Amino acid sequence: MRDEILKSLYDWNPWIEGDFPKELAGYPRSYFLEPYLQIPEIKILEGARRVGKSTLLYQVIESVLKKDKSVLYINFEDEILKKYTLNEIASVYREVAPLKNLFVDEIQNCKDWVSFIRKTHDRKEIPQIWISGSNSSFIKKEFATLLTGRNITINVYPLSFGEYLNFKSIKEINQPLSSKKEAIIKNHFFQYLDTGAFPAVVLRPVLQKELLISYFEDFIYKDIASRYEVNLSKIKELGLYLATNSAKYFSYRGCATALGMHPQTIMDYCSYFYEIFLFSELYKFDYSLKNQIGSDKKIYIADTGLANAISFRFSEDQGRILENIVHNELKRRQEEIYFHKQKYECDFLVKKDLKISQAIQVTKTLDDPDVKKREYRGLLEAMHTYQLTDGLILTMDEEGCEEIHEDHQKLQIKTLPVWKWLLF
C-alpha cells in the first residue's frame, strides 16, 4: 500500500523532487484566490468537470510553494488513490514529509473524507485545506452535517468572454474600441457562442465538437451513472432534450410526455444534472416561494458550445444562444435572478436584497417592428411591476438609448450588444 500511494503522489506532485512545472498553472483567470490564503476556513472550488478547477488549484499551489514547500496535491480521479481514504494517503505521506498545505481534487470520488477533514481542520494540523468537487449535492450534504461554519465556497464556471479573449491573446480591451479591434472581438464572440467556453476546447484548434461530445459522455457515465442507478439510454435522451430546449420554458410533466417517461423519473434525472452543474433551472419571480416552485421553469445549459455539439436544433436559434450566454454570465456574477411572466414576459430580473433592481430582455435583433414591440412591452411591464425607471435590452449588435414617457414618468430603455455587456 505504502509504495503504491507514494508512487502516485510523486507523479501528481512533481515539485517534491524538482521545480513546479509552469505549464500546470495554465492561463490566468478572473478568480483572485490569493486573499483566501489568509483565512483558516476550508476552501471549496465547486463547478462542473473541465471548467478549470484543477488549474486554479495549481495556481494557488504555485503561489504557496514560493513560501512553503510542504504542499501535497491529491487527485481522486487517479485510479490508485481513489482506492484509499484520505487519512490513509495523508498518513503515508507524513512518514516522508511534513504536510501544511493540502489540496484535494475531485473529492466526491474519495471515500470517508469528511471526518478526516474536520478533525484535521479543528486540530489546526493543516493550516491550508483546499478541495474541489464536481457534485454539489454530495459535497453540500456532507458539509451540512459535519463542516458547517468551517468552509467557504468558490464557484468555478466555464470561461467568461473576457477570459476567453485572454486565452486568445486579445488584451487591452479599453473603450472606445478601434474599428479593427471591435471587428476582431466580434469575430471571437461568434466563436464563443459556437464552441463555448470550456478551457481545453477554447485552446484546441481542431475537433472541438468531438471533445465536447466526449465531455457529455463523461457527465453521463462518470458523474451520474457511476453514482446512481439510471437507465443510460433514457438519461442520455433527457440530456439531449434539455440541451435542445435550453432557454425555453420547461415543465417536468411536459418533458415526461414528450419523452414517454414518468414525471418522477424526469425530476430525479434532472436533479442529477443540476448536481453536476450541467443544467440549471430559472424560476418565475413571485413573492410566494410556493408559487415560484410550482410554476413553469426555464432551463439553461452550462455551456452553449456543448449544447451546439450534442443537440438537434439549438444552434439554429441565435436569440436563445444569446439568452443562455446572458444567463450564465449573470450566474457567474453571483446575481440572484428570475424571469418575469404576467401578461407579457421579460427574460431576466435581478434581485438585490429584498427588491428587484434590474430587468433585462435578450433578443437577436430589434429590426423587426413586431419583435421590438414584443420585447418592449415585456420589459416595460416588468419595469412598471417592480417600479424601475431603467431597462436593458441585449442584442447581437445594436446599441442605443430611448426615453419613454408613461403615466407622468420618464423611463429609459438602453440597448447594448451582448458582447459589449459581457466585457463591462
- One-letter amino acid at 348 equals F
| Beta carbons within 10 angstroms of residue 378's beta carbon | 24
Where is average pLDDT lowest: 111-115, 198-202, 345-349, 402-406? 111-115
pLDDT for position 18:
93
For residue 314, give the amino acid letter. Answer: F
Report pLDDT digits (tens) over 54-91.
999 999 999 999 999 999 999 999 999 999 999 999 99
CB atoms within 10 A of CB 122: 10
Tell me if 213 sits within 8 A of 310, measured CB to CB: yes
**323 in any annotated domain:** no
Q: Which domain holds residue 10?
A: 2-155
pLDDT at 289: 66
Count the domains in the chain: 3
Q: For the whole model, what pTM was predicted?
A: 0.95
- How far apart are alpha carbons 192 and 160 in whole angstroms? 9
Hey, what amino acid is at 272? Y
Q: Which of 135, 155, 175 marks a domain boundary?
A: 155
Do 355 and 307 share a structural domain? no
- Residues 189, 42 share a domain: no
From the list 222, 261, 213, the residue with the least C-alpha distance to 240 is 213
Residue 326 domain-assigned (yes or no): no
Stretch 409-423: mean pLDDT, rounded? 96
Rounded-to-integer distance, Cα 2 and Cα 96, Å: 11
- Average pLDDT across the chain, whole number: 93
At 96, list the grid cell: 516522508
Distance CA 232, CA 184 (A): 42
Residue 113 C-alpha cell reads as 473524507
On whether the CB atoms of residues 305 and 198 are closer than 8 A, the answer is yes
Across 112-116, 213-217, 236-240, 288-292, least confident range: 288-292
- The beta-strand segments (E) located in 88-211 are 101-105, 128-133, 151-155
Nearest to 379 by CA among 398, 354, 364, 362: 362
| 329 inside domain | no
Which residue from 86, 71, 151 is spatially nearest to 116, judged by alpha carbons? 86
* Whether 309 and 199 share a structural domain: yes
Q: Are residues 86 and 213 in the same domain?
A: no
Same domain, 312 and 164: yes
pLDDT score of 405: 84
pLDDT of residue 173 exceeding 90: no
pLDDT tens per residue across span 196-240: 999 999 999 999 999 999 999 999 999 999 999 999 999 999 999
- DSSP code string of 4-32: HHHHHHHHH-GGGTSPPPGGGG-S--S--
- Supply the pLDDT for residue 143: 60
Question: Which of 104, 122, 155 is a domain's end point?
Answer: 155
- Is 416 part of any domain? yes
